[in-house]
Structure 1
Amino acid sequence: MQTMSGLLGELAPEQRERLRALGREVAFEAGARIFEEGSTADRFWILHTGTATLDMHVPGHRNVVIDNVRHGELLGWHWMFPPYVWTLGSEAASPVRALEFDAHSVLVLCDEDQGLGLALTRAVAAVIGERLQRSRNRLIDLFGPYAPHSRI
């Protein structure tokens, strides 16, 4: 078995296997929309290969790419917390292969195995913190006082 990195690597081996059993392999072609800002967050992905962008709608402009998600990383965390709505959109920047999880099934597993639920919540919280910092830095680059206006 390969070494786990990213979100799955934060879980104990038995927790990792219980979670992986709920996943299914999926693929997205480059340019495919994975989810839309404002839609229901009812699933999430752990990327095996490729890159997905996280973008936000800016009125009067094209969607602005805020971050990139890569191999081993979690794509989507809004499924874990009410109101279960995506605050960003996502697109496959290159062909993506990923493990997709149904949020409801994972939340039921977390209720049944509270140790796994706590470990997963902590791992997702770490992802959220990192993404918020990366998003903040990207927004400063895009819209800060020295940002070139042609980049919008």
Structure 2
Amino acid sequence: MPSLSVFDLLTLHDFVAGLPADRVQRLAAAGRPVFRGTGHRLFHQDAPADRFWLVQSGTVAVDFHVPGRGHIVVEPAGAGTVVGWSWARPPYRWRFGAVVAEDVRAVEMDAVRVRAMIAEDAELGRELTARLLDTVSDRLQAARHRLVELYAYPGATP
């Protein structure tokens, strides 16, 4: 069976659904398909944010480090989600961390190239920003629920 192109993978992903084909084609030039095995850390909190992932299959655990407690999972991110939004705004450093919880196939996007595309195409910038804001909102809501859960049930495990 022939493998799908990056363009094909992007057209199948919820994050870019509905974008005009010419913009998806431009984005495809900044992406590459990747496989990451369970346990692979995609990024650490506070490290430089130079890429992001559009998850095709598997699960990534978005987490943050709490001294004395270790990494606390905020939210599992599965197929159809975007992992990483810190690349979009200075200082371009990860606000959370992420580790592969279940083998992942994704399109890894070069954030520096995508930022350059956004600088050249204001409409693309507005559209991607709106989509990222949805992701940020969902992630912050998940963090809030997780913190309530931890404080409401002090014996809960991270």
Equivalent residue runs for 1:2-151 within 5 Å: 4-143=12-151, 146-151=152-157
How many Å apart are 1:56 and its aligned residue? Answer: 0.8
Q: How many residues align?
A: 150
Matched residue type, 1:113? D
Higher strand share: 2
For 1:122 and 1:59, the matched residues in 2 are separated by 33
8 Å Cα contact 1:10-1:119 kept in structure 2: no
Q: 1:112 to 1:148 in 2, by over 3 A?
A: same
Identity %: 37
Listed one character per residue, the Cα deviations across residues 14-44 of structure 1 (whole Å, up to 9, x for unaligned) are 3222212210011111011110011001110
2:38·2:100 contact (CA, 8 Å) conserved in 1?
yes
The residue type paired with residue 30 of structure 1 is T
TM-score (norm 1): 0.91
Tell me by how many angstroms 1:150 deviates: 4.5
CA offset at residue 93 of structure 1? 0.3
Change (3 A) 1:150 1:127: closer
C-alpha RMSD over aligned residues = 1.6
| Maintained 8 Å contact 2:150/2:156 | no
Structure 2: gaps spanning 5 or more residues:
1-7
Partner Cα distance (2:28, 2:68) in 1: 41
* Structure 2: distance between partners of 1:53 and 1:10: 27
For residue 73 of structure 2, give the secondary structure of its aligned residue in structure 1: strand
Whether contact under 8 Å (1:10, 1:123) holds in the other structure is no
